[in-house]
Amino acid sequence: MVERALFRYQFLGVSEDKLKKLEAKDKVTRAKAAADFEKSCQHSALEFSIHTDRNIAILELKHESLYADLLVINSEETLTHYAENLPTPFIRELLSDTQCPVLIVPQKYKPIQKIILLYDGEPSSVHAVKMFSYLLPQLKHLDTEVISVNPVDTSMHLPDNKLMKEFIKRHYPKATYTIMKGWAEDEIVKHLKSTTENALVVLGAYQRGKVRRWFRHSMADTLMKELKLPLFIAHNK
């Protein structure tokens, strides 16, 4: 680990002495973060485990997600020493192959006031709503809006209208529906920017087929780039 860091910083023109100081500073920062996390969990009577990665972080994180119910991560995470445009390559790679739902959160926390469920008729969008309902049932009391965008040349009906509304009624009986026409990314971003409440957006995204993603960015990419809202993302394998 230290040898890889030494090579990286030497390549960037950082001396070995400065590297040791940076590593020591990082160690203190990591220890404080772990202590703060432990204190918060104890205060909330939550069971927890703290793991220190011993290998390449992205690989270990994806592997451990197989045994996790939910992964919570900052939308700006890069695991580098410099900032990158959103969505960061680290987040995109993580989302493409994670084994559990992911909650992408902004840098600054704001209380959630509304839930927005994005639905396009695809199995992944229904799967995301299911997983959100199972994992965070305590948020069901919040105002909930189901948003769907149809192509311009189609009707204003919800895809699989009867089945979807039956399903939503069982989980979110007070949910309202917003159906629009146009290009989904444009219409959804425009609608969300006009929302006054701090909303959490639920969506299915990042199917495993990498070739498919070369031709079309995920909706999650667009939302991370355009908005500062928490995103609950789950994809159907």
pTM of the model: 0.83
Question: Are the CB atoms for 233 and 104 separated by under 8 Å?
Answer: yes
Name the architecture of domain 62-237: 3-Layer(aba) Sandwich (3.40)
Q: Where are the domains of the chain?
A: 1-50, 62-237
pLDDT of residue 1: 44
Is residue 81 very low, low, confident or very high in pLDDT (cuts 50, 70, 90)?
A: low
DSSP line for 63-106: HHGGG-S-EEEETT--SSSS--PSSPHHHHHHHHH-SS-EEEE-
pLDDT of residue 83: 74
8-48 pLDDT per residue, tens: 544 455 677 887 888 888 889 889 989 999 999 999 998 88
Cβ neighbours, 10 Å, residue 141: 10
Q: Is the dihedral of CA 20, 26, 31, 32 positive or negative?
A: positive
**Cα separation of 1 and 12, whole Å?**
17
**Cα separation of 26 and 107, whole Å?**
19
Residue type, 70: L
